[in-house]
Structure 1
Amino acid sequence: MTEAPNQDAQRADRTGDEAVTPNSEVLRELLPAVGTRVAIVAGSADSLADSDADCLLVALLEGDDLELVASAALGDKASDVLSLLEAVDAKAKEGAVTRVPAPEGVGVASIAAVGLGDADPDAETIRRASGCAARALSGVTHVATALGELDAVAAAEGFAMGAYSYSGLKANGNGNGNGAAGKSDAAAESSESTGDDAAKKGPRTLTVLGASDADVERAATVADAVATARDLVNAPSSHLYPESFAEVARALGESAGLTVEVLDDEALAAGDFGGLTAVGGGSSRGPRLVRMIWEGAGEVGSAKVGLVGKGVTFDTGGISLKPGSNMDHMISDMGGAGAVVATVVLAARLGLPVPVTATIPMAENMPGSRAYRPGDVITQRGGTTVEILNTDAEGRLILADALVRACEDEPTHLIDTATLTGAQLIALGSRTPGVLGTDEFRDRVAELSREIGEGGWAMPIPEEQAESLKSPVADLRNVSNSREGGMAVAAAYLREFVSDDIDWVHIDIAGPAFNTSAPWGYNPKRATGVPVRTLLATLEDLAGSDE
C-alpha cells in the first residue's frame, strides 16, 4: 500500500518560498514551470499564537445579525473581532473577503473574514469561499483558518486550490529556476488596478485549526492532484508533446508505485491503433499510448476501473484547419489526459482499495504532409473502419483506440474524459461537464460530480445519433452531417467501442477544463483540474460498493 504524504512530504521549499509536494517535486524536473502549492498543517484551535501565522481566516454567516465562525480560535476576543468587522461593514455574501487589523492579544497581525452566505453552508460553499480568500490574501505568507470548525477537509482543499497560480516561463518567476508562478491571480488583479507591478505573492502555508493530521494529509494530497492536472494543461505545447508527456506520466506514476507502459509510434502501428496513428501522422512528434496501472491496496472489492483520457497535446484541426482566433487555447486539448494521469497517481497516493488502469492516448493533430485527410478510411483498433469527414473530430478517434484497449482488461467500469466538443459549451456552458453513458452509472457519476462541486450533468445519447454516423463506404463516419446534438453524437461514436457488459461513462469537459474568464471560487484562470475530483469521488464510491 502506498501511504498518503505526511506533512514532511509537503514541506516548504525555502529557496522558492513555497511548498514542495510529491508530484511537484517530479514535475519541477520535467516541466518548464509548475504552479504554486501551499503547505497544509494541522493546528490546535486553542493555540493560535503558536502557529506563527500572519493572518487568521474566519467566516461570516448571514442572518438578522452577522455571525462569526471562529469561536474556538478567538476565545474572548471573538466579540472584539466581530465589532471591528461590523464597523467596516463587512459582508457575509458568499466569497466576499474583508481584512482588518487584529485586536491586541489575538496572536496574529490581521483578521480576514470570508462570507459563507447561508447560516448552514455545505462543503462546496466552504471550499469556494476558502479559495476566494486564498486569492485575496496577497502579501500574507502564513494563514491560519478557523473554517475547519465547519469542515476541515473542504476548508483546506478550497484554500490550497485557490492559492494555485501559474506564471509560466516568465523570467521574473519565483526564483526557483523553473519560471514557476510568482503572483497570485488576486495579486495580479490588484497590480492592474493600482499600477503596482510588484504585487506580493500569496500564502505559502496554511494551518487548519482544529484539524486532524488525517484531514490535512487528505486535503493536501487531493489539492496536489488537482494542481498536477493544472500544471500539465498549462504547459505550452512547445514543451509538452506526446513523447515528453509520456515521460512525465511515467515519472509521476513510478514515483507513486504504479506500473507504467509506454507504446511509441512503431508499437502503435504494430498494434493496429489506427485512430491514434492517423491523428498523429501529420506531426513530426509521433503519438504515444501510456498505460498506468494501480493494483489497489489491501483487500480489493469486485470493482475494477478503467480510465481513459484524451491527450491531444495541440490541436490545429489538421487538414480541416481551425480558425486562428483563440487557437492558443488548444494547449488544453489534453485536459482529459492530464486529469486521468493525476487521478490514477492520486488513487495510489491515497491507497485506494480499487484496481485502476489508465489508458492514455497522446498525439498532436497537425496538417503535415503525412496528415490524414477528409475522405480517408481508417481502421480503429479492433477492426472497425471509419470514414473521415472532418479531421478536427480527432479526439474521438484516439479515444476509440484507447477504449478498445481498455476493454481488453475487462474492467467492470470504464470512464473516459475529454475536451471533446464545442457542443458541450453550447449545451451546458463553461462550468458544467456533460456526463453521458450507461444510464445508472451515468446518473451516479453526475450526482457525485455535483456533490463535490464540479457540477457534472447527466445527458442522453438518443438512439438516432447512432444512425447519423452510418457511412456508405465504412462501418462508421467520424461526424454526422448535422450541427445538432454534437456532444451526444460524439458520445454515440465512443459507445461503439465499449463492450456491452461494461458500465461506461463519458465526461465532456471542453469548457470546464480551461477557464478563459476571470477566476472564481477556487478556480484560477486557465487550467482548472476538472474532473480530477469527480473521478476520485467515483473511485471511492466504487471502492465502497461492496461494503
Structure 2
Amino acid sequence: MALNSVVSLAASNSPAGSIEGDALVIGVVKGSDGPALLDSPLAAEETAALNESLSSLGVTGNADGFHRLPAPAGVEAKVLVLAGLGAIGTGPDAAPSPEALRRAAGSALRQLAGTDTVVLALPAAEAAQLTAIAEGAALGAYSYQARRSDPAALKSPVQKAVIATSLNSRAAKTILNRSTAVGKAVNATRSLVNEPPSHLFPETFAEAAKDLAKGLPVKVTVWDEKKLEKEGFGGILGVGKGSSRAPRLVKVEYAPARAKKHMALVGKGITFDTGGISLKPAASMMTMKCDMGGAAAILNATLAVAELGLPVKVTAWLCIAENMPSATATRPSDVITIFGGKTVEVLNTDAEGRLVMADGLAVASTEHPDVILDVATLTGAQMVALGNRVSAVMGDEQTSNAVKAAADKAGELFWTMPIPEELRPSLDSPVADLANIGEKAGGMMTAAAFLNEFVGQAKSGEQIPWAHLDIAGPAFNESAPYGYTPKQGTGVSVRTLVSYAEGLAAGAK
C-alpha cells in the first residue's frame, strides 16, 4: 500500500520568535470587539500595531482563518501566519478549547503544505494544550500522492513542526511520542481509505495489515476463502462470492503480558460496494472505496495501542470482502449461515456490511473479551440522522457512554443513539432466524438491532459489553478540507478507540 511520511514533532522552551523556520504561526481569536492576537510572541509594540491592523487586513479570527504576513524584525521565521481559532468566550479566564487548538494547528499545517519547518506559537503551557496542538500538527501534515505520475504536482506536506511550550522536556517528549503514534495511525487509515479499489482489495488489504504491523509486538493471522469456508464464516463468504477477488478475515492481536483487560474490535472492510445484485445507482457508488473505513480504523488503532505499549489486550477482527454482482453473487432471498450457526435471509444484498460484521462479532465473542466495539460505515441512515461530521454510537448504555466520553476527550464528534426494542421484530424472517433488513425508518438503529443478535455471552452468562460505532458519513469527506480534516478519507474513530483503550488501561490499575 501507499505509505505516508510522518511529520517530525519537536518542542522548544525557547521564545517562539527566536526559533528558525519557514513560518511562525500565531493564533487569532474572534472577540466581541473584533479579532485579537492570542499569546503573541511578538514585542509589545509590534503586537499592538498588528492588533490594530487585523480588521484592515481582513483577519476575522474565524476558525480555519489563514493569513500570511511578512515576518517582523527579530523573528527568525521567514513569514508570519495568523491562524483563526474562532470565539473562545469572554472573561479573564477565557481560553481556547483543546479541540480549537487542534483544529487551528491542523489547519495551519494543512495550508502551509510546501514548506519544510513550521513553528507553532499557540497556547501550550498545559499538557492538554500541547497534546492538542501536536495532534493537530500530525493530522494536518497529510497528503495522499501515491497514484500520481508526477508526485511533485501536489505540494508536499510540512516536514517538521516545532511547538513553543513552557512544559519541561520530559513531559513534552511523552506527549509528542503519543501524538506521533496517533497521527501515524490516523493518516495510515486515511491512506487505506484513499487507495483505489483497483489496488486495495481483500488480498492486498490483508497484506497491507501485515506490512503496517511489521516491527510491532502484534500477531497477524489471515483466513483465506478456503479457511473461511471450512470454519463456517457464511457472512463474509456470502458477501464476497460475487467477486473474482476472494474475501479475507484478518485477526490482529496485541497481547502484552501485563494486560488485565481485553478489548475486541470488529471492523467492516468492504473494499468496494456496488450493492451486489441489489445494485446501487451510479452516483451512490462513486465513494464506495471508503466502505472499508471501519476495518482500516480498528487495524491502525490496534497498532497505535501496541506502539504506545498500553497494558490492554486488543484483538482486531477485519472482515474484508468486495461486494460485486455476478452469476455467483448472493441473491435476494438466499439464506446464509453466520459463524456460530445463526441463519440470515438476505433480502437486500446492499445491506452487506452487517453480514460480514455478524461473522466478526460472533467469532470475537468466542474469546469472551471484556468489551467489544465494532466500527463500520454501515448505513446511509446515519447521515440522515446525524449528518456528515457526527458519528453514532449504539449498544448497552454503559459502553456507549464510555465511548462517547472517550470521543469527547479525543476531540471526535460522536452521539449516543438508542436501539429501540420495537425494531427487532421487523427483522423476523419466515424462513431463517432473521432477515438482514427490517424497519426502514430509523434504519441506523435497525442495523444495530441486527448486529446485537451476534454479540455473545460473557463467562458470567450475560451479554458481553458492546457498542456499535456507525461512521458512514464522517469516514469520508466529500467537501473541501477543513481544520485538520483533508478531502476524502478522514481516519475518524481511530483517536476515539485509542482514547477508550487508555481509559481501560487506567481503570485496570
Give TM-score, length-normalised by structure 1.
0.85
Letter aligned with residue 238 of structure 2: A
Q: 1:153 aligns with which of 121, 127, 131?
A: 131
User: Which stretch of structure 1 is more off in the superposition, 465-474 or 37-46?
Assistant: 37-46
Shift of 1:81: 5.1
State how far apart, in whole Å, the 1-side matches of 2:479 and 2:364 are. 35
Question: SS of 1:465's equivalent?
Answer: helix
Q: 1:494 aligns with which of 451, 475, 478?
A: 451
Question: SS of 2:181's equivalent?
Answer: helix
State how far apart, in whole Å, the 2-side matches of 1:229 and 1:121 are. 28
Q: Residue 36 of structure 2 contacts residue 54 of structure 2 at CA under 8 Å; is this kept in 1?
A: no
What residue number does 1:290 align with? 250
Inter-CA distance 54–76: structure 2 relative to 1 (3 Å threshold): farther
* 1:395 lines up with 2:353 in the alignment: yes
Question: SS of 1:42's equivalent?
Answer: strand
Shift of 1:512: 0.6
State how far apart, in whole Å, the 2-side matches of 1:377 and 1:74 are. 73
State how far apart, in whole Å, the 2-side matches of 1:414 and 1:501 are. 10
Q: 2:441 aligns with which of 478, 484, 491?
A: 484
Q: 1:101 aligns with which of 64, 70, 79?
A: 70
Letter aligned with residue 246 of structure 1: A
Superposition pairs of residues 168-179 of structure 1, within 5 angstroms = 168-174=146-152
Percent of aligned pairs with the same amino acid = 44
Deviation per residue, 1:487-537 (Å, 9 max, x gap): 111111110000243110000011010011111221111000011011111
State how far apart, in whole Å, the 1-side matches of 2:162 and 2:50 are. 20
* 1:125 lines up with 2:83 in the alignment: no
What residue number does 1:521 align with? 483
User: Which stretch of structure 1 is more off in the superposition, 503-512 or 360-369?
Assistant: 360-369
RMSD: 2.0
User: Which stretch of structure 1 is more off in the superposition, 149-158 or 529-538?
Assistant: 149-158
State how far apart, in whole Å, the 1-side matches of 2:290 and 2:58 are. 41
Question: SS of 2:214's equivalent?
Answer: helix
What residue number does 1:166 align with? 144
5+ residue gaps in structure 2? 89-93, 457-461
Superposition pairs of residues 145-544 of structure 1, within 5 angstroms = 145-149=120-124, 151-174=129-152, 183=154, 200-210=155-165, 212-296=172-256, 299-301=258-260, 303-480=261-438, 482-499=439-456, 500-544=462-506
Deviation per residue, 1:394-419 (Å, 9 max, x gap): 11111001111101111010000000
Give TM-score, length-normalised by structure 2.
0.92
Letter aligned with residue 215 of structure 1: I
Superposition pairs of residues 8-87 of structure 1, within 5 angstroms = 31=1, 33-35=2-4, 37-46=6-15, 48-49=17-18, 51-63=19-31, 64=33, 66-71=35-40, 78-79=47-48, 82=51, 85=54
Question: SS of 2:283's equivalent?
Answer: coil
State how far apart, in whole Å, the 1-side matches of 2:83 and 2:16 are. 21
Count of residue correspondences: 489
Shift of 1:138: 4.1
Q: Residue 447 of structure 1 contacts residue 456 of structure 1 at CA under 8 Å; is this kept in 2?
A: no
Shift of 1:451: 3.4
State how far apart, in whole Å, the 2-side matches of 1:461 and 1:237 are. 33
User: Which stretch of structure 1 is more off in the superposition, 52-61 or 344-353?
Assistant: 52-61
Letter aligned with residue 315 of structure 2: T
Shift of 1:217: 1.5
* 1:92 lines up with 2:47 in the alignment: no
Shift of 1:95: 2.3
Question: SS of 2:321's equivalent?
Answer: strand
Deviation per residue, 1:118-160 (Å, 9 max, x gap): 1421101111111221222244321100115251121121122
Question: SS of 2:265's equivalent?
Answer: strand
State how far apart, in whole Å, the 1-side matches of 2:452 and 2:496 are. 21
Shift of 1:34: 4.1
State how far apart, in whole Å, the 2-side matches of 1:66 and 1:135 are. 22
Q: Residue 242 of structure 1 contacts residue 363 of structure 1 at CA under 8 Å; is this kept in 2?
A: yes
State how far apart, in whole Å, the 2-side matches of 1:74 and 1:224 are. 36
State how far apart, in whole Å, the 2-side matches of 1:275 and 1:202 are. 40
Letter aligned with residue 337 of structure 1: A
Q: Residue 16 of structure 2 contacts residue 119 of structure 2 at CA under 8 Å; is this kept in 1?
A: no
State how far apart, in whole Å, the 1-side matches of 2:225 and 2:44 are. 64
State how far apart, in whole Å, the 2-side matches of 1:35 and 1:315 are. 26
State how far apart, in whole Å, the 2-side matches of 1:496 and 1:459 are. 17
Q: Residue 313 of structure 1 contacts residue 363 of structure 1 at CA under 8 Å; is this kept in 2?
A: yes
State how far apart, in whole Å, the 2-side matches of 1:264 and 1:314 are. 18
Shift of 1:348: 0.4
Q: Residue 26 of structure 2 contacts residue 40 of structure 2 at CA under 8 Å; is this kept in 1?
A: no
Shift of 1:319: 0.8
User: Which stretch of structure 1 is more off in the superposition, 205-214 or 305-314?
Assistant: 205-214
Shift of 1:93: 2.1
Question: SS of 2:270's equivalent?
Answer: strand
* 1:141 lines up with 2:116 in the alignment: yes
Q: Residue 73 of structure 1 contacts residue 146 of structure 1 at CA under 8 Å; is this kept in 2?
A: no
5+ residue gaps in structure 1? 1-30, 175-181, 184-199
Question: SS of 1:249's equivalent?
Answer: helix
Q: Residue 80 of structure 1 contacts residue 103 of structure 1 at CA under 8 Å; is this kept in 2?
A: no
Q: Residue 286 of structure 1 contacts residue 363 of structure 1 at CA under 8 Å; is this kept in 2?
A: yes
Q: Residue 59 of structure 1 contacts residue 114 of structure 1 at CA under 8 Å; is this kept in 2?
A: yes
State how far apart, in whole Å, the 1-side matches of 2:501 and 2:30 are. 36
Q: Residue 17 of structure 2 contacts residue 76 of structure 2 at CA under 8 Å; is this kept in 1?
A: yes
Inter-CA distance 483–66: structure 2 relative to 1 (3 Å threshold): closer
Letter aligned with residue 163 of structure 2: V
Question: SS of 1:371's equivalent?
Answer: coil
What residue number does 2:459 align with? none
State how far apart, in whole Å, the 1-side matches of 2:428 and 2:56 are. 68
State how far apart, in whole Å, the 2-side matches of 1:444 and 1:304 are. 15
